[in-house]
Amino acid sequence: MNKQNGFTLIELVVVIIILGILAVTAAPKFINLQSDARASTVQGVKGALQGANTLVYSKAAIQGKESTTGNVILDDLGDADATNDITVTTAFGNLDSSATVADVVTNLEKALDMQFQALSDDTTTVTTEEWGVRSTATTFKLVPQGRTASSTAADACHLLYTQAGSVTQPAQYAVVDTGC
């Protein structure tokens, strides 16, 4: 007599139940990958901005402008023509945020070699560039594409940069990712 080997109905039901439990507990982790990626991207831009600000501060120190506000030459192209110099506006050797949003966008594009969309208010969605910029008197927000500069916890997904207030008060960086 040939005896057939296989799984019993009870064994199959137990395996299906275990797979169901695993799916219910693991699915939220996989569903949330897009927001985790967006939050990680904001962290990456924070690192890029910190690195750029370090280089800007170094250039300011070389030019003796680390304790004042004004323009710092990032690249003078090695010639006597000052009109083609690449300059940024700084506050105590760090990138300045007290200018207009257009000036902040220009500074960031020169320092980070990226393109930014100027945001007129906190409700404008970033659509034309990878990142948007919303500027106030002493801060600016870097906002990823598809998001607004909203500070409401459910919508907040940005890097908040606070410019240096003095020689002893360096620039501050804060990632807000509750709504990413």
The mean pLDDT of the chain is: 86
Q: What pLDDT sits at residue 98? A: 77
Q: Which token pair is 85? A: 């110099």
CA–CA gap between residue 88 and residue 110 (Å, rounded): 7
Average pLDDT over residues 156-161: 91
Average pLDDT over residues 74-93: 78
Q: What pLDDT sits at residue 50? A: 93
Q: What pLDDT sits at residue 1? A: 57
Instruction: Give me the residue spans of the domains in the chain.
Output: 9-176
- Is residue 156 within 8 Å of residue 175, measured between CB atoms? no
Q: Which token pair is 110? A: 């020169």
Would the pTM count as exceeding 0.85?
Answer: no
Average pLDDT over residues 61-87: 80
